[in-house]
């Protein structure tokens, strides 16, 4: 499960894994180091042991200062996490402009210097999630060979540039170039939204054994199980999607303060979940346009009981 900030928090991970199978590991959305340099409990609240949901969880951090990186990493280790993930992929200008996330990719020297300072003091294992580059594919090709000598658990590559944000197509030729440029375990990420897409990618990258799925989990929640050949959901597909939706809605309603927050969060989910209902665009639009809980729930009823 890819990290999707604002969606795949502890509550979502618990609900999703209760309804759908096939996920082995989740990377949690990044912890923002700038919010509070002392990392009070609030910052790691979503990662406290009580939130565990039966699949392995890897917290993600966005730090670029060695001291903060080590202290947060070791705190997460003390909470029970044996691996943390370093976000070198975030494309948001406010982040990338400060040479964090994918904004650090044009500076391989800084990345290597940070690893030199961090790794001797870091208790958990470290993995990296990155893009093909921030502005240019050559950035990953310059960086990857330099990472070979460090003991990284894995490197996930989202096969886009940072400047693409989440738009445009993934670049499979450059992902292939990354595969050749590293000795580390490489995880594929980007636009895995159907079994067909997976079959094509798995055919092309036959040495890749780890796959990360983000938006595709909402577009087709059965996808991880389909990839593993577990089951065919056809008969009870709608009922299961309905039960998942209602469970998520109910639990978010308890957690979030007020209907505005609840509808806002659910609409964020529907941006991707809507793709699970081809041919029912009109009904989905009604849900997305709703402004009260009543109109929202009426819209959901109409969609599922057409
Ligand atoms: C709403 C949203 C939030 C995201 N939050 C994070 C994040 O916290 N950390 C991260 O590494 N990537 C984040 N990503 C990127 C995804 O993890 C993933 O790399 C990207 O969506 C491509 O994979 P997909 O096509 O399977 O979704 C986010 C993407 C979206 C759309």
If asked whether residues 247 and 202 sit together in one domain, one would say: no
If asked whether residues 17 and 51 sit together in one domain, one would say: yes
If asked whether residues 245 and 216 sit together in one domain, one would say: no
Task: Decide if 196 is inside a domain.
Answer: yes
pLDDT of residue 38: 60
Looking at the DSSP bridge assignments, the partners of residue 31 are 61
Q: Which two tokens stand for residue 241?
A: 């999607």
Between the CA of 278 and the centroid of ligand 1 the distance, in Å, is 23
Which residue is it, tokens 């990360």?
212
How many angstroms separate the CA atoms of 69 and 284, rounded? 42
Task: Decide if 5 is inside a domain.
Answer: no
Give how far Cα 54 sits from Cα of 19, 165, 252, 279, Å: 13, 31, 20, 35
Between the CA of 217 and the centroid of ligand 1 the distance, in Å, is 12
Give how far Cα 183 sits from Cα of 20, 178, 180, 282, 284, Å: 33, 10, 8, 48, 45
Task: Decide if 78 is inside a domain.
Answer: yes
Q: Are 190 and 216 in contact (CB under 8 A)?
A: no
Between the CA of 4 and the centroid of ligand 1 the distance, in Å, is 5
pLDDT of residue 36: 58
> Domain limits at 270?
237-304
* This prediction's pTM: 0.96
How many angstroms separate the CA atoms of 220 and 195, rounded? 9
Which atom from ligand 1 is nearest to the alpha carbon of 160? 22
pLDDT of residue 40: 66
Looking at the 3D structure of the chain, how many domains does it have?
2
Task: Decide if 2 is inside a domain.
Answer: no
Task: Decide if 123 is inside a domain.
Answer: yes
189 lines ligand 1 (CB under 6 A): yes
If asked whether residues 156 and 266 sit together in one domain, one would say: no
If asked whether residues 61 and 184 sit together in one domain, one would say: yes
Q: Which of 200, 227, 254 is the last residue of a domain?
A: 227
pLDDT of residue 244: 98
Residue 18, domain CATH: 3.20.20.70
In three-state form (DSSP H/G/I as H, E/B as E, the rest C), the secondary structure along 31-58 is ECCCCCCCCCHHHHHHHCHHHCCCCEEE
Q: Which of 227, 257, 278 is the last residue of a domain?
A: 227
If asked whether residues 243 and 213 sit together in one domain, one would say: no
How many angstroms separate the CA atoms of 242 and 117, rounded? 49
How many angstroms separate the CA atoms of 48 and 286, rounded? 37
Q: Which of 227, 249, 277 is the last residue of a domain?
A: 227
pLDDT in tens, the chain (306 residues): 999 999 999 999 999 999 999 999 999 999 987 655 565 677 888 998 877 788 999 999 999 999 999 999 999 999 999 999 999 999 999 999 999 999 999 999 999 999 999 999 999 999 999 999 999 999 999 999 999 999 999 999 999 999 999 999 999 999 999 999 999 999 999 999 999 999 999 999 999 999 999 999 999 999 999 999 997 666 799 999 999 999 999 999 999 989 999 999 999 999 999 999 999 999 999 999 999 999 999 999 999 985
How many angstroms separate the CA atoms of 76 and 3, rounded? 17
């Amino acid at each position: 499960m890819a990290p999707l900030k604002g969606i795949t928090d502890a509550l979502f991970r618990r609900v999703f894994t209760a309804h759908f199978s096939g996920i082995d590991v989740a990377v949690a959305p990044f912890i923002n180091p700038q919010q509070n340099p002392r990392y009070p409990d609030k910052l790691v609240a979503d990662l406290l042991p009580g939130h565990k949901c039966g699949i392995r969880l890897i917290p993600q951090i966005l730090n670029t200062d060695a001291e903060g990186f080590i202290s947060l990493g070791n705190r997460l280790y003390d909470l029970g996490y044996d691996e943390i993930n370093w976000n070198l992929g975030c494309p948001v200008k406010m982040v990338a402009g400060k040479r964090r996330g994918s904004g650090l990719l044009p500076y391989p020297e800084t990345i290597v210097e940070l690893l030199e300072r961090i790794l001797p003091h870091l208790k958990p294992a470290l993995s990296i999630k990155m893009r093909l580059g921030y502005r240019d594919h050559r950035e990953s090709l310059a960086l990857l060979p330099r990472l070979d000598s460090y003991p990284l658990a894995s490197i996930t590559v989202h096969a886009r540039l940072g400047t693409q944000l989440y738009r445009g197509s993934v670049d499979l030729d450059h992902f292939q170039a990354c595969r050749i440029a590293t000795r580390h375990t490489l995880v594929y990420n980007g636009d895995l939204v159907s079994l067909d897409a997976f079959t094509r990618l798995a055919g092309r990258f036959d040495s890749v054994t780890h796959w990360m799925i983000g938006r595709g989990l909402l577009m087709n929640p059965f996808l991880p199980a389909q990839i593993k050949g577990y089951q065919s959901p056809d008969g009870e597909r709608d009922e299961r999607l309905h039960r998942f939706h209602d469970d998520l809605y109910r639990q978010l309603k308890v957690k979030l303060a007020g209907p505005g927050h609840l509808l806002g969060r659910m609409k964020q989910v529907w941006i991707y979940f809507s793709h699970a209902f081809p041919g029912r665009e009109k009904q989905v639009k009604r849900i997305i346009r709703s402004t009260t809980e009543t109109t929202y729930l009426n819209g959901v009823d109409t969609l599922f009981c057409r």
